[in-house]
Amino acid sequence: MSEPNSTVPSPPPNDKNEKDKNRPKLKILAFHGYRQNGAIFRGKIGSFRKAVSKYAQLTFFSAPHKVVNEDGSDEDTRSWWFNAEDNSFSGKCLGGPAIGFEDTLNLVENIVAEYGPFDGFMGFSQGACLVGILAAMQQKGYLPYTFQFAIFASGFRSGSLVHKGFYDEDINLPSLHVYGESDSIIPKEMSESLINLFNKPLVAEHSGGHYVACSGSIKDAYLDFLHERYQDIIEENKNEDGRTSYFKFLN
């Protein structure tokens, strides 16, 4: 169920703020990182959820592929696909396969059909990589659904051979890209390579590492970006209402 800051599926929370309840919000589908799941990701980005709650409601879900934990624990960690034959994933791997990627495409399509439509997609690390692929696929007309903006935290291009063809043209989609200057898992150069695919991207760099930053100027960047997207949706709805009234008048 798509509720504010929810993990699919979940019961709707009680909203005690009548003003917030009546105000439309942007619907954002959130994609977690490698070795996370929807619930883990939701728990890790509490500051982000709180910061954007004025403008957005987030829906979380889990990737289809279970990861075998190296420490032998039974924690439910997931991957959107694997790029090595031992069913592991590394963002720095170049030229590998994309094992299970079709399952992920099918899952996202089903989530959007059941809980969408979504105004935007947001992803972290491997999830941000996936959002970048989906944005490129949308640019080429390959998706059966649409989204109007994307937010990337520690994003990068996939090195899998089957994804290489998605990156051969510019992407016309409003986008915000956030990355850490000292990120050793996804170095800034990898994030910049993804950023370069987008027309007029907004970029916010922080001094930290591999996490979803949300303080100071980074928080302001999220809010400014979502405010603009919120205004875009309002204007679009006004135009739709105007066209509807016009056609009613003609009839």
Structure-token pair, residue 31: 């994609």
90 is catalytic: no
Q: Has 183 been annotated as catalytic?
A: yes
Catalytic one among 2, 6, 62, 125? 125
Tell me which of 2, 158, 177, 183 is the catalytic residue: 183
Dist CA 142 CA 18 (whole Å)? 40
Alpha-carbon distance 57 to 76, whole Å?
25
Active site residue 210: yes
Give phi and psi for 250, each to the nearest 5. Answer: -65, -35
Cis amide bond preceding 9, omega within 30 = yes
> Is the alpha carbon torsion for 126, 219, 120, 191 positive or negative?
negative
Which residue type, as a one-letter code, is found at position 241?
A: D
Q: What one-character-per-residue DSSP string does 116-145 give?
A: ---SEEEEETHHHHHHHHHHHHHHTT--SS
Task: Using alpha carbons, select from 40, 129, 45, 39 the residue that is nearest to residue 81.
Answer: 129
Active-site residue (options: 32, 65, 163, 210): 210
Instruction: Return the DSSP state at 163.
Output: G
Which residues have C-beta within 8 Å of that of residue 144, sequence separation ≥ 6? Answer: 109
Residues marked active site are found at 125, 183, 210
